[in-house]
Each structure stands twice: as structure tokens, then as C-alpha cells.
Amino acid sequence: MTTHSSLFRLESDVQQQPPHVPLLHLSIDGFIDAGGVRDQIADHILGTLEHRVVASFDVDQLIDYRSRRPVMTFDSDRWVDIDEPSLTLYRVEDSTGTPFLFLHGVEPDYRWEAFVEAVHQLCLAFGVRTVVSAHGIPMAVPHTRPVGMTRFASDSSLIPGNQAIFGQVQVPGSAESLVHLRLGEAGLHTMGLAVHVPHYLAEATYGDAAVAALTSLAEMTRLEVPSDALVATAGLNRAEIAQQIAASSEIGEAVAELEKRYDQFLEGQRRRSLLAAQVADLPSADEIGAEFEEFLRSAAPDEGDDGTDEDPDPQAHG
């Protein structure tokens, strides 16, 4: 295993570990994560699955400490601790023993392209062929309806049946998004989920979104990640949200209006799908043309007939 980047340090025992780990899960704190989807999944994976550190990034080269000062602890008459930022690559095993890599930590402030190249080198070293991630985005949707999500991939064939709800848009970039872009350009398969979180819960923890994301990630990756603890936590979170909304008639009315608009949107989508299906059942122009030609042939005079309305008995009018 050879690497050439000064941005990370491999653990000394990496050479003794099985080298082939075909999947990398990105979990880089970045521009947006409505509902805390990314953080919930990270806490769940590291809290329930066997894992070990295989590489650590040198955050001193990547972080602007003055823009997001780390918390330090002062005890009586001295400094005793600092909450140091980290960006760490873990080797994790799912419940069946299948390994995958998990890159978790702070988003770099500097040297994004160098950081992406370092990630690419790690992918080459470990034999990674697929990269996935999930995060939350705020949407005008109610929490009382199924969680939706926007899927994306470096190749649309990786997400068959996907129904895009966005056209072309421009948004602020993130290091995680740049990893998707560059590694896709390098020939790796990259896939991701942007889970739709009710905008009024964007700054809170929304458990149902994390459960939906973890379920979809499992389908995409075929990894076995127990979700019981996350599901139970989401149930408690759902009850708390219901209590808070019930305590405010204003919020309740706003949610009811969102439900109405959401249901109208779905009905509109259903009608368009039905119309598309009905249009698909109509014969094509070529089929109509072929049928018309067949009709003309069947309506044509018999062979040898000159097509005139000749009286069969001329003597009858003599």
C-alpha cells in the first residue's frame, strides 16, 4: 500500500489489515445538514459497529481555527482541555463482517482540491470503487408525510427509476460534493442522498430522516447495519415533535397548510403520471399510418375494376 499525500497519516498496523475495501462512506460536516441527518448516521455507525482508525488527516493544514474556534476548558486556574477538530478514516465492519471505509469529521477550510486528491489516493490504496453519502436539506414538507429524498449519482444508471424533482440549479459548494464530482470524473461510482427535512425542523434533530437515509443507504450498498436503536430514538423524537406542535395552534395551522399543499402536489404528480400512461397507450404515428393504409387497400375496387359506377343492365334504362 503506497500513498504520497502529506495531508494524512496512515496507522502503523494498516499493512496487516485486509487491503480490499470497495466502499467508502463520506460523512464530512459541511455547508448544510438539515435535521442532523449526517451526524445521526455517523453516531449510529460508530456507536453500533466494530471500527478502527486507519488514517487521520492533518487538520492543521486544512482548518481555519479563527472562523470556528474550538472549545477549550478552563478549570479554576489553568487550561485543561481542548475539543480538537478531527477528520478521520475508519475501517468499519457491518453486522455480517463486510468491511467498508468511513470518512468522518470536519470540512476543510483550505486546499479542497488537494484534500480530494488525498481521498482519491486512499481510495486507490484500499481498492475503493464506490463512494456514498447522505445529508439533509430543508424543504417545505410536513413531518406527517413519508420522508422524501433527492438521489444523485455520477452515472444515472446507478439510480434506476429515479424521478428528479429539480432541474439544473446552482448551489454553494462543499468539500463532500467536490469529492463526488472529482471521484466521479476519475471513474469511481459515486452516489448520494439529500433527504428532505421539514424546514421548521431544519435546525433540530429529525430522527425519521436519519432512519430513511440509513434504510436507503443499506439498499444502495447492500450493507447490513442494525437500525433498531436509531428507529427507537426516532420514535421518541417524533413524539416530542408532536407535543411541541400540539402546544402551538399557530404551528399546527402551518403544518396543516403544508399537508394540504403536499397532498395537492402528489395528486398533481399522480394525474400527470396517469396522463402519461394514457398517452403511452395511444398508437404511434407509424401505427396509425399503417392502419390507414390497410383501410385504403380494403376499400379499393376489385382488381380489373376501372372504378366507375357502371350500370350492370344498360337495357333497363333503354
Asked if residue 273 and residue 217 are part of one domain, the reply reads no
Percentage of residues in the chain having pLDDT higher than 70: 82
Buried b (16+ CB within 10 A) or exposed e, 18-31: eeebbbbbbbbbbe
Asked if residue 151 and residue 21 are part of one domain, the reply reads yes
Is 202 a member of any domain?
Answer: yes
Residue 217: which CATH number? 3.40.50.10900
Q: Containing domain of residue 87, as a range?
A: 8-247
Cα–Cα dist 99/128, whole Å: 11
> Which residue in 16, 20, 90 sits closest to 56, CA to CA?
90
**pTM for this prediction:** 0.81
pLDDT band at 164; cut points 50, 70, 90:
confident
Among residues 247, 269, 290, the one where a domain terminates is 247
pLDDT over threshold 90, residue 272: no
Give the Å distances, CA to CA, from 253 to 141, 164, 258: 14, 29, 9
Report pLDDT for 280: 52
More confident call, 215 vs 308: 215
Asked if residue 289 and residue 175 are part of one domain, the reply reads no
In the predicted model, what is the mean pLDDT of residues 245-255? 90
Asked if residue 287 and residue 230 are part of one domain, the reply reads no
Cα–Cα dist 233/47, whole Å: 14
The tens digit of pLDDT for each residue in 12-64 reads 877 666 678 999 999 999 889 999 999 999 999 999 999 999 999 999 999 99
Is 318 a member of any domain?
Answer: no
Q: Structurally, how many domains does the chain consist of?
A: 2
Asked if residue 253 and residue 186 are part of one domain, the reply reads no
Asked if residue 184 and residue 130 are part of one domain, the reply reads yes
Who's near 180: CB < 8 A, 6+ residues apart?
26, 131, 133, 152, 154, 190, 192
Is 39 a member of any domain?
Answer: yes
> Which residue in 99, 117, 219, 225 sits closest to 158, CA to CA?
219
Asked if residue 255 and residue 240 are part of one domain, the reply reads no
CB-neighbour burial class of residue 114 (10 A; exposed 0-12, middle 13-18, buried 19+): middle
Beta bridge partners of 89: 55, 103
pLDDT band at 316; cut points 50, 70, 90:
very low
In the predicted model, what is the mean pLDDT of residues 270-293? 57
